[in-house]
């Protein structure tokens, strides 16, 4: 029985549970009626916008306004439709000292009744009385902060459970007392005993993460609403809700700073594609859709990593030393000729010698510009030298006097050399235009290039970098490509689009000028034509003005960008996101941190992780050491201390591993028991057969089998440790724990991750 079966709210005292649910159903019906009206109005306006197209009006500003409203209405409809998934989930009766309650509680006008939901709803456009508070609004915060010890003015907190538009249950907590179990009520209070929280943490897991908007706890709420505008680290053991906190923080930030973040976007980085799919529904359910989800290996546009690498290669490519190796690899394309080269220009021989090229190379390098951006500097300086050489040849005074050519003559020679294809081909060979994917492919598949770029490193390092030509991109390559893009200096896609848009506007203006000419004397043009036509009253003559307009003339080269902020950001390696979330942040290597921080020049980031779970060979051991190159010591640190997911029985095993990983680490507090002891079975046990038995006996719950690499057996829900970072399952079977430990220097952390994925039962097959 739920609490609603034995009691009701303060104002419903003595009423049965059915009556309490019925009264809430009436209120919920009213909320959905209001929501339906909002949806209908938005659909009507969208239909009007789609019809409001004037082909004769080429005004670009009008087109932009129309498209902006069109996309805004679609986003609003998305939010309104998604909000119906659990529109309302809570209610508080709270004191409102010093002000008149907006919705007084019947029988107690000193209390304000506030309903809490996924979005806010007012009564009408001309009536600002709040029917439903957005969970992120400041007035909704007592719903999350109130406890019996610190009630925050809340007398009653009601959890409202719904299925679709139907209220199915209500659970009340009376918070004006001081005990966990209020005498004579049967109402339980406190984090560990909240009915709604226990219902959530005991429910079966699915292939997608649930939002926790109904059950956010006090320490989680403080992190979600933290006003820090810098780097914030959220650390916590398995099951403490780090990911949920990060996602709800995104929703809160988008609510609070919507205008800013709507322009700049939010980036969420996760450990693998399975994880991103697992969390993909949380933000839409919270009414937010304009967010970029990516693994760190997919962060460089246009590259899909599919290759795998051994631990040594991953460690080397992730190390900070790779930045110096890549810089040297780029410099290797800035070539000096081995001996003087001769190029004939209009019958005159020009000598391009190493010293001349070296002077131009030095000039270009001193500019501190990326390679491609320094290329015009190199070319200009070299052509200046060659123009002077050519002037010295053809302008020399036979009598030994000063050169016969003027400054203007030398400038003309300079311009002529720039148009000489053969000479430009030679010059471009000394400083070619580069592209990151070509440079990295040529580096990693050439022992000679690796030897040159990594000359200061040992043979083992150089050998680990070498791979076969045509090998697929690996996840570690994304950070290297991003580093190369910075060293090379690719054009800014947004600047290119702005220039293209300006050009399009010029085309529209030019087209309008053409129409003015075409329409200036239509009568005489038509008279000239109709003089030769038969006397037919129904004959039609079409002028050019009838057939074309300015928009049509410019349309072929129209470059308007209709993409959303998220779509534009995903395609631009130089995009500066307003906020960046990194989940399982302990897995990022130094090179990957360089890539991530380039996407956050404002340094407004939320980093979520646990160094006890670091599995990457180049991952994080210390937050302060990792972040020091980017923000020094200027970051805020939060710690989550309550484990909501993992039962006490499983945490006993996990905490023994944690003591071996870091004896000084304090484990999070598990708040529930499952009643299922951890099973330890013989190494010959058939894991797949055992998993099938769990699925038959408990079909509504998920089962996962996690293997060591040596014992991996493909099957339904079979994983390696690296594939289950951030995920959770009801039943977990770990095959070959000792093998998992032995396979990596981080093997103990990997096993710690594996055993803490379970919410119900854990089975270990083989020795630990």
Residue-wise DSSP of 376-412 = HHHHHHHHHHHHHHHHHHHS--TTS-S-S--HHHHHH
Over residues 517-525, the mean pLDDT reads 53
Contact 90, 139 (CB under 8 A): no
The dihedrals phi and psi of 34, each to the nearest 5 degrees, come to: -65, -40
Give the pair of three-digit tokens for residue 475.
Answer: 């996840």
pLDDT on residue 757 = 95
Over residues 370-380, the mean pLDDT reads 96
pLDDT on residue 7 = 36
Instruction: Give the 3-state secondary structure percentages of the chain, helix then strand then coil, rounded to 5.
Output: 45, 15, 35
Contact 640, 245 (CB under 8 A): yes
CA distance 365 to 387: 21
Least confident of 5-14, 283-292, 449-458, 491-500: 5-14
**Best CA proximity match to 707, nearest among 763, 669, 745, 664:** 763
Least confident of 86-90, 382-386, 749-753: 86-90
CA distance 157 to 91: 6
pLDDT on residue 562 = 63
pLDDT on residue 530 = 46
**Best CA proximity match to 106, nearest among 205, 232, 242, 10:** 10
pLDDT band at 38 (very low <50, low <70, confident <90, very high): confident
pLDDT band at 187 (very low <50, low <70, confident <90, very high): very low
pLDDT at 737 over 90: yes
pLDDT on residue 458 = 94
Residue 136 DSSP SS3: coil
pLDDT band at 306 (very low <50, low <70, confident <90, very high): very high
Over residues 517-544, the mean pLDDT reads 49
Residue 699 DSSP SS3: coil
Residues 6+ apart with CB under 8 A from 688: 705, 713, 715, 718
Least confident of 421-430, 563-572, 603-612: 563-572
Over residues 668-675, the mean pLDDT reads 91
Quick: pLDDT tens for 192-207.
335 666 667 777 777 7
pLDDT on residue 727 = 92
Over residues 26-51, the mean pLDDT reads 88
Quick: pLDDT tens for 468-487.
999 999 999 999 999 999 99
Over residues 203-228, the mean pLDDT reads 85
Q: What angle do CA 445, 449, 453 make, to 5 degrees?
A: 125
Quick: pLDDT tens for 137-150.
999 999 988 887 78
CA distance 548 to 559: 19
Residue 114 DSSP SS3: strand
Least confident of 165-179, 210-224, 521-535: 521-535
Residues 6+ apart with CB under 8 A from 720: 706, 707, 709, 712
pLDDT at 460 over 80: yes
The string of DSSP codes covering 154-170 is EEEEEEEEEETTEEEEE
The model's pTM: 0.82
**Best CA proximity match to 570, nearest among 251, 307, 297, 291:** 291
Least confident of 256-260, 555-559, 669-673: 555-559
Cα 395 to the center of its chain, rounded Å: 62
**Best CA proximity match to 4, nearest among 112, 145, 15:** 15
pLDDT on residue 41 = 87
- The DSSP letter of residue 181 is B
Quick: pLDDT tens for 346-363.
888 999 999 999 999 999
Of 576 and 182, the structure prediction assigns the larger pLDDT to 576
pLDDT on residue 150 = 83
Contact 410, 402 (CB under 8 A): no
Give the pair of three-digit tokens for residue 108.
Answer: 């107690």
Report the mean per-residue pLDDT for the chain.
85
pLDDT on residue 126 = 60
HSE value, Cβ hemisphere, 13 Å, CA-based, for 466: 13
pLDDT at 750 over 90: yes
Residue 620 DSSP SS3: coil
- Give, rounded to a whole angstrom, the gap between the first and last alpha carbons of the chain: 41
pLDDT band at 515 (very low <50, low <70, confident <90, very high): low
pLDDT on residue 524 = 46
Contact 32, 87 (CB under 8 A): yes
CA distance 388 to 409: 10
pLDDT at 249 over 80: yes
Residue 172 DSSP SS3: strand
Q: What angle do CA 242, 246, 249 make, to 5 degrees?
A: 135
Query: What Rg, from alpha-carbon coordinates, does the chain have?
Result: 34
CA distance 669 to 649: 12
Pairing of strands 121-124, 127-134: antiparallel
Pairing of strands 88-95, 154-163: antiparallel
pLDDT on residue 58 = 55
pLDDT band at 535 (very low <50, low <70, confident <90, very high): low
CA distance 308 to 429: 34
pLDDT on residue 125 = 61
Over residues 520-548, the mean pLDDT reads 47
Contact 562, 585 (CB under 8 A): no
Pairing of strands 669-670, 266-270: unpaired
pLDDT on residue 288 = 78
The dihedrals phi and psi of 78, each to the nearest 5 degrees, come to: -60, -45
Give the pair of three-digit tokens for residue 726.
Answer: 């951030």
Give the pair of three-digit tokens for residue 404.
Answer: 């016969």
Of 213 and 622, the structure prediction assigns the larger pLDDT to 622
Over residues 522-548, the mean pLDDT reads 47
Over residues 680-706, the mean pLDDT reads 94
Q: Write the CA distances from 201 to 69, 241, 284, integer angstroms.
A: 41, 11, 21
Of 58 and 201, the structure prediction assigns the larger pLDDT to 201
Contact 515, 549 (CB under 8 A): yes
CA distance 91 to 114: 6
pLDDT band at 189 (very low <50, low <70, confident <90, very high): very low
Q: Which residues of 393-428 are buried (b: 16+ CB within 10 A; e: fewer)?
A: eeeeeeeeeeeebeeeebeebbeebeebeebeebbe
**Best CA proximity match to 374, nearest among 417, 334, 324, 338:** 334
Give the pair of three-digit tokens for residue 544.
Answer: 């050019």
pLDDT at 176 over 90: no
CA distance 15 to 107: 14
Q: What angle do CA 561, 566, 569 make, to 5 degrees?
A: 75
HSE value, Cβ hemisphere, 13 Å, CA-based, for 768: 19
Cα 613 to the center of its chain, rounded Å: 22
pLDDT at 553 over 60: no
CA distance 42 to 396: 80
CA distance 92 to 374: 63
């Amino acid at each position: 029985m739920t609490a609603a079966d034995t009691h009701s709210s303060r104002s419903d005292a003595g009423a049965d549970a059915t009556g309490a649910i019925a009264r809430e159903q009436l209120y919920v019906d009213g909320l959905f009626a209001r929501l339906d009206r909002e949806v209908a109005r938005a659909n009507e306006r969208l239909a009007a916008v789609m019809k409001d197209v004037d082909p004769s009006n080429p005004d670009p500003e009008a087109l932009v306004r129309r498209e902006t409203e069109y996309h805004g209405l679609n986003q609003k409809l998305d939010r309104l439709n998604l909000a119906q998934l659990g529109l309302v989930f809570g209610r508080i009766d709270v004191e409102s000292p010093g002000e008149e309650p907006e919705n007084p509680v019947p029988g107690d006008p000193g209390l304000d009744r506030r309903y809490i939901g996924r979005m806010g709803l007012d009564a009408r456009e001309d009536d600002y009385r709040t029917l439903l508070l957005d969970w992120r609004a400041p007035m909704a915060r007592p719903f999350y902060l109130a406890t019996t010890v610190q009630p925050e003015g809340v007398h009653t907190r009601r959890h409202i459970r719904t299925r679709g538009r139907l209220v199915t249950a209500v659970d009340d907590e009376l918070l004006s007392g001081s005990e966990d179990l209020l005498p004579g009520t049967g109402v339980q209070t406190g984090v560990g005993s909240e009915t709604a929280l226990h219902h959530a943490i005991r429910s079966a897991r699915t292939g997608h993460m649930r939002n926790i908007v109904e059950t956010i706890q006090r320490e989680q709420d403080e992190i979600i609403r933290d006003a820090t505008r810098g780097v914030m680290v959220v650390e916590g053991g398995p099951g403490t809700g780090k990911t949920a906190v990060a996602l709800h923080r995104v929703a809160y930030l988008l609510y609070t700073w919507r205008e800013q973040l709507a322009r700049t976007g939010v980036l969420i980085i996760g450990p693998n594609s399975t994880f991103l799919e697992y969390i993909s529904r949380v933000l839409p359910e919270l009414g937010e859709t304009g967010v970029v989800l990516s693994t760190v290996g997919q962060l460089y546009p246009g590259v899909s990593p599919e290759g795998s690498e051994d631990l040594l290669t991953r460690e080397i490519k992730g190390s900070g030393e790779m930045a110096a190796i890549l810089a040297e690899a780029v410099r290797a394309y800035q070539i000096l000729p081995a001996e003087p080269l001769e190029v004939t220009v209009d019958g005159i021989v020009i000598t391009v010698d190493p010293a001349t090229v070296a002077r131009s190379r030095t000039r270009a390098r001193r500019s501190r510009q990326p390679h491609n951006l320094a290329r015009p500097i190199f070319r200009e300086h070299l052509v200046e030298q060659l123009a002077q050489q050519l002037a010295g040849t053809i302008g020399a005074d036979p009598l030994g006097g000063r050169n016969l050519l003027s400054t203007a003559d030398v400038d003309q020679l300079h311009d002529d050399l720039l148009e000489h294809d053969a000479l430009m081909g030679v010059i471009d060979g000394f400083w070619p235009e580069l592209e990151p994917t070509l440079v990295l492919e040529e580096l990693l598949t050439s022992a000679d290039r690796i030897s040159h770029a990594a000359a200061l490193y040992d043979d083992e390092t150089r050998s680990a970098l070498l791979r076969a030509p045509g090998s697929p991109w690996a996840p570690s390559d994304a950070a290297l490509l991003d580093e190369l893009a910075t060293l090379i200096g690719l054009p800014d896609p947004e600047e290119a689009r702005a220039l293209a848009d300006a050009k399009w506007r010029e085309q529209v203006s030019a087209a309008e000028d053409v129409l003015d000419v075409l329409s200036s004397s239509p009568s005489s043009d038509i008279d000239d034509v109709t003089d030769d036509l038969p006397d037919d009253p129904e004959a039609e003559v079409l002028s050019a003005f009838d057939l074309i307009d300015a928009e049509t003339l410019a349309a072929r080269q129209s470059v308007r960008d209709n993409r959303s902020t998220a779509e534009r950001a995903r395609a631009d390696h130089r995009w500066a996101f307003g906020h960046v979330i990194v989940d399982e942040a302990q897995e990022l290597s130094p090179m990957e941190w360089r890539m991530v921080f380039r996407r956050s020049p404002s340094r407004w980031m939320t980093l979520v992780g646990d160094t006890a779970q670091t599995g990457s060979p180049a991952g994080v051991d210390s937050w302060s050491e990792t972040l020091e190159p980017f923000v020094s010591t200027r970051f805020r640190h939060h710690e989550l201390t309550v484990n909501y997911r993992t039962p006490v029985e499983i945490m006993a095993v996990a905490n023994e591993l944690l003591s071996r990983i870091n004896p000084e680490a304090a484990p999070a507090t598990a708040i529930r028991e499952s009643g299922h002891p951890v099973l330890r079975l013989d190494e010959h046990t058939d894991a797949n057969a055992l998993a099938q038995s769990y699925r038959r006996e408990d079909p509504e719950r998920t089962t996962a089998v996690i293997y060591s690499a040596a014992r991996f057996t493909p099957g339904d829900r079979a994983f390696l440790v690296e594939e289950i970072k951030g995920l959770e399952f009801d039943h977990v079977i770990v095959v070959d724990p000792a093998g998992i430990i032995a396979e990596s220097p981080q093997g103990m952390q990997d096993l710690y991750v594996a055993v803490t994925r379970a919410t119900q039962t854990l089975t270990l097959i083989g020795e630990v």
